[in-house]
Structure 1
């Protein structure tokens, strides 16, 4: 799949502008899962600060639709490249600027979190950059 790397850069820039990311001092890493359905998008995730894990959602306070719109634009580019639209998008970053993006095309519950799997998911989503 040949995707313009500008999308990754623009997504990273928008995530770094999110209120919770800006307000959380000294975060080491973050992970956000975006659930995309027709006409609806939601997200949830975590900020990893030393040995603490802080639940978070991603939103840019001064431009509430900026991140969602960029994700939809990225989704369309992926669709044009491979013929499939992702239903979930995972964005993981560390404070050094490394980013990892993963897609889910078939299972809209792959990274869903609830009371039964909350503790396991916060560790499963923790970014590991080698």
Structure 2
């Protein structure tokens, strides 16, 4: 379970599950960002945004529970490989080019956390560039 092929396979599967999720299929998004925050070893919380035409943004979380399960598996695989668990992951996807980027936060679980006081700033911080 600790080999690069498994890690790469999970990364590809997560990206595919996200873009094929009902929540995202229903939206005419150009780019999207999804944050996975580990709550404990087996629980992940997901939140994200879709970025539409004319600078519009909508908060959107995937409906498929398999996405959360795959993030837990990715967390376990990477922890075994690297020896240090990440606390949050950010996935950004560009629809037109099918580009997918992953970013991992190892120290601050709240780095990409959206709150009532920061939701406007975070919406823009999470926007794929």
Q: If the TM-score is normalised by the length of the shorter chain, which range does it land in?
A: 0.7 to 0.9
CA-CA distance at 1:3 after TM superposition:
3.5
CA-CA distance at 1:81 after TM superposition:
1.3
Taking structure 1 as the reference length, the TM-score comes to 0.87
Q: Where does residue 110 of structure 2 map in the other structure?
A: 109
CA-CA distance at 1:30 after TM superposition:
0.1
Q: Is contact 1:3-1:78 (8 Å) kept?
A: no
Taking structure 2 as the reference length, the TM-score comes to 0.87
Q: Where does residue 50 of structure 2 map in the other structure?
A: 47
Describe the SS at the equivalent of 2:11.
Answer: helix
- Higher helix fraction: Structure 1 or Structure 2? 2
Once residues 35 and 9 of structure 1 are traced to their aligned partners in structure 2, the CA distance between those partners, rounded to angstroms, is 19
Number of residue equivalences: 122
CA-CA distance at 1:77 after TM superposition:
1.3
Cα deviations by residue, 1:8-32 (Å, 9 ceiling, x for unpaired)? 211111111222101102x100001
Mapping 1:50-61, distance limit 5 Å: 50=53, 51-60=55-64
Describe the SS at the equivalent of 1:9.
Answer: helix
Q: Where does residue 33 of structure 1 map in the other structure?
A: 35
Once residues 9 and 32 of structure 1 are traced to their aligned partners in structure 2, the CA distance between those partners, rounded to angstroms, is 15
Q: Unmatched 5+ residue regions in structure 1?
A: none
Once residues 75 and 31 of structure 1 are traced to their aligned partners in structure 2, the CA distance between those partners, rounded to angstroms, is 18
CA-CA distance at 1:40 after TM superposition:
2.8
CA-CA distance at 1:37 after TM superposition:
1.6
